Amino acid sequence: MAVRLKPIEQQTIVVTGATSGNGLATVEEAVARGATVVLAARNLDALEEVAVRLRSRGARVAVCAADVSDPADVERIADTAIEQFGGFDSWVNNAAAATYGTMEQVTLADHRRIFDVNYFGVLQGSLAAARHLRAKGGAIVNLGSVLSDRAMILQGAYSASKAAVQAATDALRMELEQEGAPISVTLIKPAAIHTPYPEHARNYMDAPPRLPPPLYDPRLVADAILFACEHPRRQLYVGGGGYAISLAGKVAPRLTDLAMQAFGVEAQQSPGDPGVLNRRDNLHEPKPDGTVDGAQEANVRKTSFLLQAQKLALPTPGDVVRAGLNAVADLAEAVDAARYRGRR
């Protein structure tokens, strides 16, 4: 069955991690375009504050206080959408958790927490969405990262979980396509985005954390997410700076390792800028929330030409590189075959 996605203004969209950063940016842009939205996050007070603000603008929204690591909570999110609005058309798995620290510094309990939220939360949300959308069609949009492709030093647990999200998203897409389900499955891969991510992360380093430049506006991620709610796409990168790291990791992995070892630690530490203190470390418990943008002082990029090119279905630099490498491999294989035939 062909995938047909509704215009945003006709959709009901579920967004997890909806009270800050990329999630909140997506919610705000979705309601501005006329969508109905179900907001899910752990912090009920922040959810209610956001909902009041949006309803004052005439938006149709519902809230569900939920921790996506709990399967019962994920089912409650789906039930809220069904009870309040008769169902949903797109489900955005955005909620995430993070740590800064070496693989040895981060406790096993915190490693597990990262995977409970970032991997199992996405998996449970995807499966709940697939069950609902199988008959009517719609979109599942999962938030990966450029770190799905290339691990970042001092963010090992987060990188590992996002690599797992990429694999699970690809597997689910294939299975739904095989059975003919009218569901689009998209993976969004943001670069470093100017959100409260560094403050929300649990920090094992000696200095406050920060995101390495260049940083991009969270509203670009919202644009990518909502585009995927309307247009079937396999994946969308947000931010050419992060994509360059992803590409470098594929083309020159050892050089990328060495570059991260030389510059990665300093690039992720901010000795003079602790950020907003009461937001720090929401790994196991929610903290004050309700802002799209992070506190880190940075020159934030408001555009992503790479994203726009992908929306037009133009080839990315990686597509060009892969095509070149495939051509070289094909040529080498042809030469080897010719040599083999010559020896016979």
What is the C-alpha separation between 15 and 60, in angstroms, rounded?
14
106-115, 260-269, 275-284: least confident range: 275-284
Predicted local confidence at residue 273, as pLDDT: 77
Q: Work out the end-to-end distance of the chain between its first and last CA atoms, rounded to an integer number of angstroms.
A: 51
For the ranges 128-132, 136-140, 234-238, 313-317, which has the lowest average pLDDT? 313-317
Distance CA 117, CA 73 (A): 12
Read off the pLDDT of each residue in 93-116 and give the average, rounded to a whole number: 98
> Taking 60 as the threshold, does the pLDDT of residue 341 lie above it?
no
**Structural domain contains residue 195:** yes
Mean pLDDT, residues 173-195 taken together? 98
Pick from 23-32, 70-79, 272-281: least confident: 272-281
Phi/psi of residue 202, nearest 5 degrees: -75, 130
Q: Which long-range contacts (CB under 8 A, 24 or more apart) does 283-287 make?
A: 283/97, 283/98, 283/99, 283/110, 283/113, 283/114, 283/200, 283/201, 283/202, 284/113, 285/42, 286/41, 286/42, 286/43, 286/46, 287/43, 287/200
State the pLDDT at residue 340: 46
| CATH number of the domain where residue 106 is located | 3.40.50.720
Mean pLDDT of 238-258: 96
Chain mean pLDDT for the chain: 93
Average pLDDT over residues 207-226: 97
pLDDT band at 332 (very low <50, low <70, confident <90, very high): very low
Q: State the catalytic residue, choosing from 100, 119, 158, 237.
A: 158
Per-residue pLDDT for 203 more than 60? yes
For residue 164, give its domain range: 8-313
Whole-number pLDDT of residue 290: 96
Domain total of the chain: 1
The DSSP annotation for 241-285 comes to HHHHHHHHHHH-HHHHHHHHHHHHHHHTB-TT----GGGS--SSS
- Judge whether 255 lies within some domain: yes
Q: How far apart (Å, rounded) are the C-alpha atoms in residues 296 and 210?
A: 7
Q: Is residue 258 part of a domain?
A: yes
The reply to whether 342 falls in a domain is no
Provide the percentage of residues in the chain whose pLDDT is more than 70: 91
197 is annotated as an active-site residue: no
Over the Cα atoms of the chain, what is R_g? Answer: 21
Tell me if 217 is assigned to some domain: yes
Tell me, yes or no, whether 135 lies in a domain: yes
pLDDT single digits (tens) 34-51: 999 999 999 999 999 999
Q: Which of 89-98, 116-125, 225-234, 334-343 has the lowest mean pLDDT?
A: 334-343
